[in-house]
Amino acid sequence: MRLHGDARSRTLLAGVAALLFAAAPTRADAENAEQTFAQKCAYCHGARLEGGRAAGLVKEVWLYGGDPASIADSIRGGRPSDGMPAFRDALTDGEIGELAAFIRVKADEAQRSSRRGASGAEPELALQYDFYDVQASQVPDSSGRNHTGTIVAGRIVDGRRKPAIQLEGTGVVTTDSLTRDVDLAGRAMSVGAMCKPSAPDGVIVSMGDAADGFSLYLQEGVPHFAVRIKGEIHEVAGTDPIQVDQWSHVAGVIGEEGGLALLVDTWTVAAVKRPSFLARTPAGPFMVGGDASTPAATSRRWHGLLEDVRLYWGAISRNTHHELLGDWADRPGCGCHR
């Protein structure tokens, strides 16, 4: 093996790589574009590109073409006959290019999620902590999406079937990266874990801040799933407590139509129809065992074990996802593992 390589070809390669990366839109570009969109476009096209005074831009059929170049043309020159103003004087070509790329990405995401949302479609794993290979308090994300969690005061112990995290009222596992990388606004999702509580109160998993977010928690042993939308709480709660010091599988679901459901050991124990989609991806961290936005931050901390924490895009139900729930909840005799 040649250790020194050819300096010239390495420089060339570095040059090519630099070009490739320069051409690819970066996260900073996307953030700029998002801001420009909010300032100059959202008034007509809606804050989430969903439409308002003008048509939405997350669509499959475009009047003037949906490729980035045609989108850029629409922005630059406007479509005066339809009432779309020209932005060639207000924005640079660079900004217009970023906006066009941003719109294309959002349109693709919306199409993927509507396919995901189609009933019977397989939910897609957005995050999974199964607590294998935890090193130096870093919890790998087994979904492959790199939402590595950080353990703050907790330890890994043997769980029911996999490793579990033991939390004693002060610990959490937390990550911020979900907020940046996972779009949860306006779509179905499911979140939950295998739980063995040693106290009847505590947050299983939560995400968000004072305005938008969700929290799956026990209160006097009774599972609750709350979604906060622009500060307003929508909630579904079970009727019976789960057993302290026993394993139960608990999951909260925002359904395809936006209704909330609560699953305990794969059974739907409560549901409300009122649409409760998140208005935006929660800005606060994703947190296992606690809730960053609870005013008394430690009062609802989890006591006991949590195993196999998962977040999915899409609504999981016993009727349609036997295999998935059979694997996640693994309850002998639950009848869902066919």
Q: What residues line the site for ligand HEC (CB under 6 A)?
A: 40-41, 43-45, 53-55, 57, 62-64, 71, 74-75, 79, 82-85, 87, 99
Residue 177's contacts (CB-CB under 8 Å, 6 or more residues apart) are: 146, 147, 148
Least separation in angstroms between residue 75's CB and ligand HEC is 5
Check if the beta carbon of residue 198 is closer than 8 Å to that of residue 301.
Answer: no
Which of 16/90 has CB closer to ligand HEC? Answer: 90
What is the pairing mode between strands 248-254 and 260-264?
antiparallel
Which of 86/283 has CB closer to ligand HEC? Answer: 86
Which of 102/313 has CB closer to ligand HEC? Answer: 102
DSSP three-state, residue 145: coil
Which of 54/153 has CB closer to ligand HEC? Answer: 54
Least separation in angstroms between residue 35's CB and ligand HEC is 11
Which of 79/160 has CB closer to ligand HEC? Answer: 79
Measured torsion, CA atoms of residues 7, 10, 15, 16, in degrees rounded to the nearest 10 = 150
Least separation in angstroms between residue 64's CB and ligand HEC is 4
Neighbours of 106 (CB within 10 A): 21
CA distances (Å), origin 296, targets 44, 154, 206, 293, 329: 40, 20, 14, 8, 31
Residue 106's contacts (CB-CB under 8 Å, 6 or more residues apart) are: 49, 57, 58
Q: Residue of minimal CB distance from ligand HEC?
A: 41
Least separation in angstroms between residue 82's CB and ligand HEC is 4
Least separation in angstroms between residue 92's CB and ligand HEC is 12
Q: Among 280, 290, 254, 252, which residue's Cα sits nearest to residue 182?
A: 280
Least separation in angstroms between residue 187's CB and ligand HEC is 22
Which of 114/320 has CB closer to ligand HEC? Answer: 114
Q: For 167, phi and psi rounded to 5 degrees?
A: -125, 140
